[in-house]
Amino acid sequence: MKNENSTPRRRAAVVGAGITGPLLSLCLVRLGFEVDLYEAYLRRAQDVGSFLNLAPNGRAVLERLGLADRVLEQGTAAGSITFANHKGRVLAENPERTTNIMRGELSAALREAATGAGAKLHSAKRLVALDDIGGDVWRLGFEDGTRAEADIVLGCDGVHSTTRRLLLPDAPRAAYTEVVGSGGRSRIGAGELPVDGTFHMVFGLRGFFGYQVMAPGDVWWFENHPEPRERTFAELAETDDAQWVAALAERHRPDPGVVRRILTASTGPVGRWPVYEVPPLGTWHRGSAAVLGDAAHAVAPHMGAGAALGMEDAYELALALHEHPSAQRAFTVFEESRRDRIAALAKQARQTGAVMTPNRRLARVIRDLMLPVAIKQGVRKGSEAYSYRPSRWPAQGDRN
Ligand SMILES: Cc1cc2nc3c(=O)[nH]c(=O)nc-3n(C[C@H](O)[C@H](O)[C@H](O)COP(=O)(O)OP(=O)(O)OC[C@H]3O[C@@H](n4cnc5c(N)ncnc54)[C@H](O)[C@@H]3O)c2cc1C
């Protein structure tokens, strides 16, 4: 296990091949680490019907790594994002270039890039145990009874992270945000809505709706609304798709007609999810193991920031591990450089969520009065959030 310079190669076990995990694996392999990437599922039920909007800061990471074209060709660019109230009046526009992409396709493209660079992907490997067995070595145990060892363990296993629970048993659990999200695709008449390269957001009276016309007649949409009672993913899935979209269409009856038009033309599976966030953790690491991405700091999705933050994390943590021979030192440097940014974004996402999905009548009245100002402030904060750009990639890591 020696590299060209005959210094020992560090073995990294990355847990979770969603978005953060594959990108981190790719970065580490390029920097000379030996990487095993463990994933519980090949295809997650949660990914069905679900697309995300990748912000410019995420795109910047992919560009820096030379991956933007090949990964983002799976998606469709939006030249701007508009924000309208429930009467359909456009109150603000964010001229940033973003990309809408199916979550499963983004993940698959990143996994392909990671394995192409030399990371070993092990699927159907659900982490269930993690033990420090001394000598700076960790033993990972999987649900199928198999085991593996690594010098460094990096938990990228999402909002309900098992790595976080095993590594940091006192850390708070993910908290339900009292919001349910849905997403799907609709087919409408080819000329009904223009293919205008715009991601349209509508602050409805009882829920938030977003859509983009991807090609003539092909619309991708998502919806968020308040639901104080927590229901699991499985419980939400008990309602069939037709009933689910009919209920959403009813919910959006007071809003611009385009919302109901799109919802009632929904075809194919409709994804739906209870939305969680991870309260701030005291630390993100113990010894030579750490959590990152949603596992460390899932923020409410109302700023469309989570995936891009995971990409930033992957890039920055790989660089820190490259620069610091001690993993603990690397994790400390990484945490110090990331905490304030993440905390500010989490706060902003929570504030945006309260405006998007007010759950009491009074809150709704106040929301409508303050909406014009709140949206403009949100657009400005969004631009600040998007402004991260990665530093230079080390020359010796350019080879793949
Ligand atoms: C409704 C909603 C809308 C969103 N919209 C946006 C958006 O528009 N833009 C945006 O940037 N972000 C958005 N996000 C956030 C974004 O999806 C997440 O921030 C992003 O997916 C985090 O990536 P990750 O790799 O850290 O975690 P995940 O994508 O959750 O990946 C975790 C991986 O770990 C695997 N795993 C879990 N447990 C184990 C285990 N024990 N062993 C092995 N593997 C395991 C999972 O199967 C999964 O593949 C949204 C989130 C929600 C809920």
Blockwise average pLDDT, block size 10, the chain, 400 residues: 51 97 98 97 66 94 95 92 89 88 93 97 97 93 98 97 98 95 95 96 92 96 95 94 97 96 94 94 96 95 87 98 95 96 87 67 66 73 82 69
Q: What are the sequence ranges of the domains in the chain?
A: 11-175+278-397
For a mutational test of ligand 1's pocket, the pick from 223, 294, 302, i.e. the residue with the most ligand atoms closer than 8 A to its C-beta, is 294
- Round to whole Å and give the CA distance between 371 and 369: 6
Q: What is the pLDDT of residue 229?
A: 96
The token duo for 86 is 């429930």
With a 6 Å cutoff on the Cβ, whether 156 touches ligand 1 is yes
The alpha carbon of 19 and the centre of ligand 1 are apart by a number of angstroms equal to 7
Which atom of ligand 1 lies at the shortest distance from residue 224's CA? Answer: 1
Of 70, 71, 17, 67, whose CA–CA distance to 39 is shortest?
A: 17
With a 6 Å cutoff on the Cβ, whether 15 touches ligand 1 is yes
With a 6 Å cutoff on the Cβ, whether 378 touches ligand 1 is no
CATH number of 11-175+278-397: 3.50.50.60
Q: What is the pLDDT of residue 400?
A: 43
Q: What is the pLDDT of residue 358?
A: 60
CA separation, residue 381 to residues 94, 303, 351, 352, 399 (Å)? 11, 9, 11, 10, 36
Q: What is the pLDDT of residue 288?
A: 96
CB 378 within 8 A of CB 386: no
With a 6 Å cutoff on the Cβ, whether 310 touches ligand 1 is yes
Q: What is the pLDDT of residue 360?
A: 60
